Amino acid sequence: MTVDERLAELGIALPQPGNPVASYVMAQRSRSLLFLSGHIAKRDGVPVVGTVGGDVTREEAQQLARQVAIDLLSTVRAAVSSLDSVRVVKVTGFVRSAPGFTEQPFVINGASDLFVDVLGERGQHARSAVGVAELPLGAALEIEAVFEDVAET
Amino acid sequence: MTVDERLAELGIALPQPGNPVASYVMAQRSRSLLFLSGHIAKRDGVPVVGTVGGDVTREEAQQLARQVAIDLLSTVRAAVSSLDSVRVVKVTGFVRSAPGFTEQPFVINGASDLFVDVLGERGQHARSAVGVAELPLGAALEIEAVFEDVAET
Amino acid sequence: MTVDERLAELGIALPQPGNPVASYVMAQRSRSLLFLSGHIAKRDGVPVVGTVGGDVTREEAQQLARQVAIDLLSTVRAAVSSLDSVRVVKVTGFVRSAPGFTEQPFVINGASDLFVDVLGERGQHARSAVGVAELPLGAALEIEAVFEDVAET
């Protein structure tokens, strides 16, 4: 099964890749590595503002992280010839955390699980999750990633 | 035009590369990739202390980010044979943010724009910008980067 | 002297590699690069909760960082054939900081110095250290790293 077929099976439609909110690009390649810019939480294309553990529940945040992972895949697909040759290498999740909120791993699992659901073993990755005080536009979370394009020599 | 010529045209003199404030090196190479340590905001070589959106305005912070980018280029030049063979791959900006300050992208544009001004298309990069509560020495911002040396096989 | 001999000389026994607290793996390789997940501060295998500069002193935190570096080495050894062919490339330290605590570099030196003690010149690395508001499980610090396996082509 190709990744596109797997996405269809999961009922996931990749959105149009987003545009950066500033002076950079959404993904930059260095040989076989693809570095992805931080993608913030959005719902229907609109940033979701709030602190996790405050105005955003951990379950809502996990769903937001899943959507960010879909957005990241959309950016990857625009940068490579095919999603069938990519692997996830590293994910870093920044969670805008209310004081005392310590379940950043639970939140970022929304992204990690999506990658494994879609890419199988090639979706497995190293990861860090941290809690930060502020994020661009007040977004509830921001996730960046490093992918590898195994087709690239 | 070489990068050194372009720097001269922009009136930018690269400073002496800084020294780490602790037990590490300013840049470490892995094959064609060059990983740069976090460089903090300085003015005339002295750390600029404060929170952005608090005692440091967003415009001041953007200028500080531009200077950090110049410092990063200085570190790169000390590590490679020539700036003419380098590309920026990834930039991560940590902005020490006053509560409610959400314009980290505007601030880090000061660095991103400098890289594109100096390196042209080779200055384009993926990027994350986040707001943190505290930074070394109380600095207002800290920026790290990954460069590629295309001359390296 | 091999790295295992050097570890013995320093009286350091590598623990069993830890398990992730969520949906990811502790290390993921991309060709010669090994990306390590964020490892949190532990004492006798139990997360150390607190803020540095608050309930955890900077000296205690430096010792915790040293132990995290040992845990990272343990993860590396499980992922590669031999510690004799690895180099540290990049370290990122997230310190859960009490308000006004700005000695993140001093804290993360505990990890940096351990790497150089064990690996010598191959332990030298680029580094960033930042202060964050919250970390998984309330841990006092979290450190991630990029290693290179020079045996890998």
Does the residue C23 lie in any domain?
no
Higher pLDDT, B111 or B17: B111
Q: Where are the alpha helices (DSSP H) in C20-121?
A: 58-79, 104-119
Neighbouring chains of C at 3+ CB pairs under 8 Å are A, B
CATH number at residue C122: 3.30.1330.40
Residues of C in contact with A117 (CB under 8 A): none
Question: What pLDDT band is residue B41 in, cutting at 50, 70 and 90?
Answer: very high
The beta-carbon neighbor of B146 closest among A35, A38, A134 is A35
pLDDT tens, residue by residue, A27-64: 999 999 999 999 999 998 899 999 999 999 999 999 99
Residues of C in contact with A92 (CB under 8 A): 144
pLDDT at B94: 98
pLDDT at B153: 61
Does the residue C90 lie in any domain?
yes
Does the residue C28 lie in any domain?
no
Shortest CA distance from B132: residue in chain C: C132
pLDDT at C153: 61
The beta-carbon neighbor of B109 closest among A23, A31, A92 is A23
Range of the domain at B118: 29-149
What tokens were used for C38? 């964020």
User: pTM surpassing 0.90?
Assistant: yes
The beta-carbon neighbor of A133 closest among B87, B129, B133 is B133
CB of A135 closer than 8 Å to CB of A42 = no
To the nearest whole Å, the CA of C24 is away from the closest chain A CA by 6
Cβ <8 Å between B94 and C128: yes
pLDDT tens, residue by residue, B107-145: 999 999 999 999 999 999 999 999 999 999 999 999 999
Cβ <8 Å between B133 and C129: no
CB of B32 closer than 8 Å to CB of A33 = no
pLDDT at A93: 98
Mean pLDDT for A3-26 is: 86
Residues of B in contact with C109 (CB under 8 A): 22-23
pLDDT tens, residue by residue, C59-102: 999 999 999 999 999 999 999 978 999 999 999 999 999 999 99
Instruction: Name every residue in C having a CB less than 8 A away from some CB of A.
Output: 20-28, 30-31, 33, 35-38, 92, 94, 132-138, 142, 144
How many domains, in total, are found in chain A? 1
pLDDT at B37: 97
Does the residue B8 lie in any domain?
no
Cβ <8 Å between A22 and B105: yes
- Does residue C12 carry a pLDDT above 90? no
Instruction: In whole angstroms, give the CA distance from residue B145 to residue B132.
Output: 17
User: Any bridge partners for residue B147, and if so which?
Assistant: B34, B88
To the nearest whole Å, the CA of A126 is away from the closest chain C CA by 5
Does the residue A71 lie in any domain?
yes
The beta-carbon neighbor of C125 closest among B28, B132, B136 is B28
Long-range contact pairs involving C42-46 (C-beta distance under 8 Å, separation at least 24)? C42/C18, C42/C67, C42/C68, C42/C71, C42/C139, C43/C67, C45/C15
State the residue for tokens 């350091």: C12
Interface residue of C30, C118, C128, C141 to substitute, partner B, most B CBs within 10 Å: C128
Shortest CA distance from A87: residue in chain C: C30
Does the residue B14 lie in any domain?
no
* Burial of A112 per CB tally in 10 Å (0-12, 13-18, 19+): buried
Does the residue C27 lie in any domain?
no
* Burial of C46 per CB tally in 10 Å (0-12, 13-18, 19+): exposed
Cβ <8 Å between C106 and B22: yes
Higher pLDDT, C22 or C33: C33
Does the residue A58 lie in any domain?
yes
What tokens were used for C26? 């502790």
To the nearest whole Å, the CA of B72 is away from the closest chain A CA by 17
To the nearest whole Å, the CA of B6 is away from the closest chain C CA by 27
